[in-house]
Amino acid sequence: MIPANTISKKRDGHNLNRNEINLFFKNYIDGLVTDAQMSAMLMAIYFNGMNEDETFALVETMLYSGEILDFSNSQYYVADKHSTGGIGDKVSLILAPIMAAAGIKIPMIAGRGLGFTGGTIDKLESISGFETSPNLKTFQHWVEKNGYAIISQTDAICPADKKIYNLRDKTGTVPSIPLICGSIMSKKIAEGISGLALDIKIGNGTFMKNKKSAFELGDWMKKIGKEFNIKTDILYTDMNQPLGNFAGLSCEIEESISCLKGTGPNDLMSIIFELGSKLLLQAKIAKNYSSAISIQNKIIQSGEALMQFKNSIKSQGGAFENFQFQNQAKYETFVHKKESGIITEMKTEEIGWALVTLGCGITNDNKILDNTAGIEFYKKLGFETNEDEPIFRIFCSNKSKLEKVATMLSSTVVIGRHYKEKPLIYY
């Protein structure tokens, strides 16, 4: 295979066969295709897309580039949840222990921050000692023992995707439906699951900016799920404003604990219950939607969900003893608007980039995350505000970054006189 010929073929809008896709991506893992050549291929896919056969081949190539977990002997339903990413999206941290307490095994391979969206693994690593990179035998043991475990992608699981993941971020090819499908579904299938609930975000704070592209992505995910015998349910949710009351690193862990205690914000809990219901119905643990909601509420109120969370964190080496003290920010400030009125728009992607600047995401200039960093949202869409009331509280341990982000955030909120409420869940 000559890499340039394969790239040229895709660049010119022709379809690649299964062998061409497999060989090109395998050669990239083996070092026979360079980063520059893979970048060109990613851009060609970004602009020209992939048909069904190509997309299935891409998923298969990424899947079989590494090992696949086997839960075939488990007496429990094995499933997972995935989100396409957003600001303040901590659903995985809360949903997994609830599902584990309900009797579903959740082997979750999660990601780090990608572009302006936060990463579940980055948030979990704000817990001192928390282990995100075990070998697969240990990972499977944690899942079987505690009902769930959340780890980062390892060299053993879909190494092709792991190597390409960062390259997509650097080359601006993240919002490509075939590449998103290949990345998400290969990792999920490799977990050895039977069911999957997908939360596809729609709005200005995620990669899918409109319903059309989000629904197209959902259709592709369902096709792939069917092809690989994974029960796949889709939820389409709003990301035109941050989810919950906090976004950042350790602050999202704290908000997750509040949710598991039964005191979480309504928008966040609504999405958790919807996704949880889909999994409980798949597993036949719930007979209908209302019983699925009831099961989840009882698990939270009984304290089982929080206990599952703490047991899992402990098994993965995490220590909560000094969590708040270790993650206490040195500095904080508040963002106000100079006019009064109703918040009619939040530029959520810009809020995401502000979080990255604050230290919640890796950049070329900043290789170390600030676990203390984050934003608290006092007011969101539809809220009335005046110049005396703060909209955001910003906190971190770098004073110069704090001042820079305060300036960035002041322009992310639009004040008007009328606001038409957007749905939280799209159908």
Report the catalytic residues.
82, 161, 168, 183, 187
Buried b vs exposed e over 83-113: b needs ≥16 C-beta within 10 Å?
A: bbbbbbbbbbbbbbbbbbbbebbbbbbbbbb
How far apart, in whole angstroms, are the C-alpha atoms of residue 104 and residue 106?
6
How far apart, in whole angstroms, are the C-alpha atoms of residue 361 and residue 369?
6
How far apart, in whole angstroms, are the C-alpha atoms of residue 155 and residue 70?
17
Sign of CA dihedral 65, 130, 359, 408: positive
Vertex 283 angle, CA 282 and 287, to 5°: 80
Q: Is 150 helix (H, G, I), strand (E, B) or coil?
A: strand
1 and 20 Cβ atoms separated by less than 8 Å: yes
Contacts by 170-175, CB closer than 8 A, 24 or more apart: 170/39, 171/39, 171/42, 171/43, 172/46, 173/42, 173/43, 173/45, 173/46, 174/114, 174/115, 174/207, 175/46, 175/207, 175/208
* Rg from Cα positions in the chain: 21
